[in-house]
């Protein structure tokens, strides 16, 4: 089959590899009909996440048709249409029972690597480094899905792929970000990053009762999209704009009730602080560039909540923990507990309350993926979300 492979930092190639096989009794093989490139894939592309190895198949947002199931999979059949959550969960460990699916104890075959780095291991993820399990990803024509009795969401209506594909990650991720923001009706919520995760966080914040959402980014088409959802936008790149002042001005001086960092470890920063982080990361004295996190901690109101869906990988410098303590804020974060949200959000889509496909800007073939990783990183061509049809012909 054809698959998008990570071949080193900033090096992605579409290659022909072996087809996946069933390896465990709860496995399923999915013929992938749509897959997407995520902001999280950029952290791999840019070499921020350790334990990627050349030859790894990328991709964790995918859906398709069940091709084959292992002997213990009783709820799926060949031909079923499914969306696959990017976190792999067993359904039976203490964490799965507590519905903290992204902390599943039994899905990471390389748990010892993550234990060494984080103390304990989270769940395995598709196409997201050996530390996170070393599973082959879904930017391919076929994918093997472990614990297929627990994860995949069956799509029984005839909704097109594009409307349900984002249930595999970014819609639930944006939704959990808003849930983690502990929004009470009437709240003002600030969202950093108007990428796909930020977009769904904005939409979800409104669904959960926010009276006002303030969206921060620098990319015009993304800010435009945020305004179309009803948010007030702040372009942080404009010369005379200070985000902290803007947020004070827009909240009568008290700050947002909740802040959502939907940017993560590769935050862009034009200020001196940005140069500082770049140098420190290059010298390996710091692994992440936490400029948004710092800003959000500073901005949130006293007793407010900071929700962090943006990914962080390692060691952060100059995080104003004193401000967090001084204001008595709550912080919530983590990989999305996908399995809690897929079904209820599918219902919202079915009811026509939201059509997630509005963020798609590019539809491509597998062959075009390497080129589009670059476009996606550089945020060129007005890119907002890239969807791959693994069976489309390159020439088409």
Partner 1 sequence: MSSALKEKPYAEEVPTTSPASVILNGRYLPPPEDKDGRLWVRTSALIQASTNDLYAMWRNVEAAPGWQEQIKHVAVTGERTSHWVMQSGEKTIEWDSEILADEPGRRIAWRSIGGDSDNAGEVIFEQAPGSRGTVVTVLQAFRIDKLTSAWETFTGRNPKQAVIENLRHFKALAETGEIPRTQGQPHEDRGLIGKMKISTYGEKVPTPSGSN
Ligand X SMILES: NC(=O)c1ccc[n+]([C@@H]2O[C@H](COP(=O)([O-])OP(=O)(O)OC[C@H]3O[C@@H](n4cnc5c(N)ncnc54)[C@H](O)[C@@H]3O)[C@@H](O)[C@H]2O)c1
Q: Which does 259 bind (CB under 5 to 8 A by kind): partner 1, ligand X, Zn ion, none?
A: none
Tokens 């597998």 found at? 366
What is the C-alpha to C-alpha distance for residues 14 and 369, in angstroms, rounded to an integer? 7
387 binds Zn ion (CB under 5 A): no
The interface region with Zn ion, picked from 93-101, 127-135, 144-152, 291-299 by CB under 5 A, is 93-101
Q: Report in angstroms how near the CB of residue 27 gets to partner 1 at its nearest.
A: 9
Q: Which does 256 bind (CB under 5 to 8 A by kind): Zn ion, partner 1, ligand X, none?
A: none
Q: Report in angstroms how near the CB of residue 32 gets to partner 1 at its nearest.
A: 13
37 binds Zn ion (CB under 5 A): no
Q: How crowded is residue 182: how many other Cβ atoms within 10 Å of its Cβ?
A: 15
Q: Which does 210 bind (CB under 5 to 8 A by kind): Zn ion, partner 1, ligand X, none?
A: none
Tokens 């990989």 found at? 335
Q: Report in angstroms how near the CB of residue 168 gets to Zn ion at its nearest.
A: 8
- Torsion angle of alpha carbons 180, 183, 187, 190, nearest 10°? 20
324 binds partner 1 (CB under 8 A): no
Q: Which does 262 bind (CB under 5 to 8 A by kind): Zn ion, partner 1, ligand X, none?
A: ligand X
Q: Does residue 109 come out as left (phi exceeding 0), alpha (psi in the -120 to 50 range) or beta?
A: alpha
Q: Report in angstroms how near the CB of residue 63 gets to partner 1 at its nearest.
A: 19
- List the structure tokens of 384: 């907002």
311 binds Zn ion (CB under 5 A): no
Run of H or E residues at 158: none
Question: Interface with ligand X by CB under 6 A: which residues?
Answer: 38-40, 42-43, 169-170, 173, 192-198, 216-219, 222, 236, 262-264, 267-269, 291-292, 309-311, 335-336
Tokens 């005379």 found at? 240
The interface region with partner 1, picked from 20-28, 173-181, 277-285, 340-348 by CB under 8 A, is 20-28
Q: Report in angstroms how near the CB of residue 104 gets to ligand X at its nearest.
A: 14
What is the C-alpha to C-alpha distance for residues 87 and 122, in angstroms, rounded to an integer? 9
Cβ closest to partner 1, residue 2 vs residue 289: 2
Cβ closest to ligand X, residue 311 vs residue 342: 311
19 binds partner 1 (CB under 8 A): yes
Q: Report in angstroms how near the CB of residue 134 gets to Zn ion at its nearest.
A: 17
Q: How crowded is residue 342: how many other Cβ atoms within 10 Å of its Cβ?
A: 22
Residue 37 near residue 71, CB atoms below 8 Å: no
Among 27, 67, 169, 261, binds Zn ion (CB under 5 A): 169
- List the structure tokens of 83: 């969306």
Contacts with partner 1 by CB under 8 A: the residue count is 47
- Helices (H), strands (E): how many in the chain? 13, 18
What is the C-alpha to C-alpha distance for residues 76 and 73, in angstroms, rounded to an integer? 6
Site string for partner 1, 106-145 (x = CB under 8 A): xxxxxxxx----------x-----x--xxxx---x---x-
Query: Which stretches of the chain are DSSP H helices?
Result: 39-45, 94-97, 111-118, 161-164, 170-180, 196-207, 220-228, 243-249, 272-282, 291-299, 321-327, 342-350, 369-378
Among 31, 46, 68, 93, binds partner 1 (CB under 8 A): 93
Q: Which of residues 268-287 bind partner 1 (CB under 8 A)?
A: none
> Please, is 13 exposed, middle or buried when counting C-beta atoms within 10 Å of its C-beta (0-12, 13-18, 19+)?
middle
The interface region with partner 1, picked from 51-59, 206-214, 268-276, 322-330 by CB under 8 A, is 51-59
> Under the rule (CB under 5 A), what is the footprint of Zn ion?
38, 40, 89-90, 93, 96, 104, 106, 169
């Amino acid at each position: 089959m054809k698959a998008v492979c990570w071949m080193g930092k900033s090096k992605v190639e579409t290659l022909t590899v072996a087809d996946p096989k069933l390896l465990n009794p709860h496995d399923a093989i999915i013929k992938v009909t749509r897959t997407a490139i995520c902001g999280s894939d950029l952290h791999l592309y840019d070499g921020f996440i350790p334990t990627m190895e050349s030859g790894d198949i990328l991709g964790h947002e995918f859906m398709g048709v069940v091709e084959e199931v292992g002997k213990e999979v009783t709820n799926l059949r060949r031909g079923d249409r499914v969306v696959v959550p990017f976190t792999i969960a067993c359904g039976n460990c203490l964490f799965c029972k507590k519905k903290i699916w992204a902390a599943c104890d039994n899905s990471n075959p390389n748990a010892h690597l993550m234990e060494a780095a984080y103390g304990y291991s989270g769940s395995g993820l598709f196409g997201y480094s050996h530390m996170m399990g070393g599973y082959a990803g879904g930017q391919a024509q076929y994918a093997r899905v472990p614990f297929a009795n627990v994860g995949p969401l069956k799509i029984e209506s005839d909704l097109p792929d594009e409307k349900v594909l984002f249930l595999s990650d970014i819609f639930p991720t944006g939704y959990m970000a808003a849930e983690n923001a502990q929004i009470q009706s009437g709240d003002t919520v600030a969202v950093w990053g108007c990428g796909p995760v930020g977009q769904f966080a904005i939409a979800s914040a409104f669904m959960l009762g926010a009276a006002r959402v303030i969206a921060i980014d620098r990319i015009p088409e993304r800010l435009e999209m945020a305004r179309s959802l009803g948010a007030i936008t702040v372009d942080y790149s404009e010369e005379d704009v200070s985000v902290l002042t803007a947020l004070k001005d827009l909240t009568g001086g008290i700050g947002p009730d909740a802040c959502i960092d939907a940017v993560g470890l590769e935050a862009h920063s034009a200020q001196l602080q940005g140069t500082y982080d770049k140098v420190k990361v290059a010298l390996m004295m710091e692994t992440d560039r936490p400029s948004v996190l710092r800003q959000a901690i500073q901005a949130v109101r006293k007793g407010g909540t900071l929700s962090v869906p943006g990914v962080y990988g390692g060691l952060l410098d100059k995080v104003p923990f004193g401000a967090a303590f001084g204001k008595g804020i709550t912080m919530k974060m983590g990989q999305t507990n996908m399995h809690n949200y897929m079904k209820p959000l599918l219902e919202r889509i079915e009811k026509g309350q939201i059509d997630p496909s509005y963020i798609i800007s590019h539809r491509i073939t597998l062959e075009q993926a390497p080129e589009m990783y670059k476009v996606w990183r550089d945020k060129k061509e007005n890119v907002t979300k890239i969807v791959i049809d693994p069976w489309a012909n390159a020439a088409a």
